[in-house]
Chain A
Amino acid sequence: DSGVTQTPKHLITATGQRVTLRCSPRSGDLSVYWYQQSLDQGLQFLIQYYNGEERAKGNILERFSAQQFPDLHSELNLSSLELGDSALYFCASSVGKGERSYEQYFGPGTRLTVT
């Protein structure tokens, strides 16, 4: 158990819908990262937050957005869903700075299926 939690574990929804994925980082971790794992694109970085502020953006679609709240949990919002958005979405966290801050610990992922 990495200490990172994600809900829900599975999500099935229809095209055009909107969903919210939730992540709680390990206790004390300030940085949250979102990654998408799909069959054709592999593991790709989407976005990072550090202590409530957006730190970096990767290959995140405009239909996707995220935020990190004062209690450090993060939410990834996916809207106008398409079949190609079906994937495993991971959240990872790290301490953010200091020793071993380069280590990222992953949650169990949310499996999104768009039908």
Chain B
Amino acid sequence: AQTVTQSQPEMSVQEAETVTLSCTYDTSESDYYLFWYKQPPSRQMILVIRQEAYKQQNATENRFSVNFQKAAKSFSLKISDSQLGDAAMYFCAHTKYAGNMLTFGGGTRLMVKP
């Protein structure tokens, strides 16, 4: 079974600074997909960024980027120029293949200090 681990229950960052959230996963598959979801206080789950395991290039979406280390089964999220609106729970998730269920990590609460 796939497992996803987020070892940082809480993180804080100063506004305009950079923060990195960690995620490790365990899978026996060679092809799979990884995601970061953001859950603000509204509780809506928002897809932030996705990474296809077969792609060596790290995904980027504006201020959000990932560091995907396939051999180490590590998938960290870097948020640059942090904004107050980035404060939320962040969940790392994995799926074996397209159309398959998501397995989530336990989440990291990110606080942004003004």
B-binding residues in A (CB < 8 A):
2, 31, 33, 35, 42-45, 48, 50, 55-56, 58, 88, 90, 92, 94, 96-97, 101-106, 108-109, 111
Q: How far is the CB of A29 from chain B (nearest CB, A)?
A: 11
Q: Judge whether A45 and B98 touch: CB under 8 Å.
A: no
Candidates A42, A90, A96; contact of B106 at CB < 8 Å: A42
Residues 35-52 of B, flagged 1 when their CB comes within 8 A of A and 0 if not, give: 101000011111100101
A42: chain B residues at CB < 8 Å are: 104, 106-107
Candidates B33, B46, B99, B104; contact of A43 at CB < 8 Å: B104
Q: Judge whether A90 and B98 touch: CB under 8 Å.
A: no
- A–B Cβ pairs within 8 angstroms, 20 of them: A2-B46, A35-B102, A42-B106, A43-B91, A43-B102, A45-B101, A48-B101, A56-B101, A92-B45, A97-B99, A101-B98, A102-B98, A103-B50, A104-B47, A104-B102, A105-B47, A106-B47, A108-B42, A108-B43, A109-B43
Q: Which residue of A lies closest to B45 (CB)?
A: A106
B95 within 8 A of A: yes
Question: Which of A90, A94, A102 is most buried by chain B, counting CB atoms within 10 A of its CB?
Answer: A102
Chain B residues 47-65 with CB under 8 Å of chain A are 47, 50, 52
Q: Judge whether A90 and B45 touch: CB under 8 Å.
A: yes
Knowing A42-B104, A43-B104, A102-B33 touch, does A31 contact B45 (C-beta < 8 A)? no
Q: How far is the CB of B104 from chain A (nearest CB, A)?
A: 4
Candidates A31, A45, A58, A88; contact of B99 at CB < 8 Å: A31
Q: In the assembly, what is the distance between CA of A97 and CA of B97, in Å? A: 10
- Which are the 3 A-B pairs with shortest beta-carbon distances? A106-B45, A102-B98, A43-B104
A45: chain B residues at CB < 8 Å are: 101-103
Q: Judge whether A109 and B50 touch: CB under 8 Å.
A: no
B100 within 8 A of A: yes
Besides the contacts A2-B46, A42-B104, A109-B43, what 17 more A-B pairs have beta carbons closer than 8 Å? Answer: A2-B44, A31-B99, A33-B102, A35-B102, A42-B106, A42-B107, A43-B102, A50-B99, A58-B101, A88-B43, A92-B102, A94-B99, A102-B33, A102-B50, A102-B95, A108-B43, A111-B43
